[in-house]
């Protein structure tokens, strides 16, 4: 059981590290809604 918990914690840490690096880059590449011009 302890090995499973350690693996789960390790997986969580890997995913968390990924999100910490991914999210700022993803936000930089998002389209800013205030700059979009839409014709109605």
DSSP string, 1-40: -HHHHHHHHHHHHHHHHHHHHHHHHHHHHSPPGGG-----
Q: What is the pLDDT of residue 37?
A: 61
How far CA 11 is from CA of 6, 7, 15, 16, in Å, comes to 9, 6, 6, 9
- Model confidence pLDDT, tens digit, residues 1-28: 689 999 999 999 999 999 999 999 999 9
Taking residues 32-37, what's their average pLDDT?
Answer: 64
Number of domains composing the chain: 1
| C-alpha to C-alpha distance for 22 and 27, rounded to whole angstroms | 9
Which comes out higher in pLDDT, residue 36 or 2? 2
Q: Which two tokens stand for residue 29?
A: 């590449």
Q: Please tell me the pTM assigned to this model.
A: 0.62
What range defines the domain where residue 18 resides?
1-39
Q: What is the pLDDT of residue 32?
A: 73
């Amino acid at each position: 059981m302890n090995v499973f918990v350690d693996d789960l914690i390790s997986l969580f840490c890997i995913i968390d590290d990924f999100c910490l690096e991914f999210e700022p880059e993803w936000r930089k590449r998002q389209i800013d809604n205030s700059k979009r011009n839409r014709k109605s």
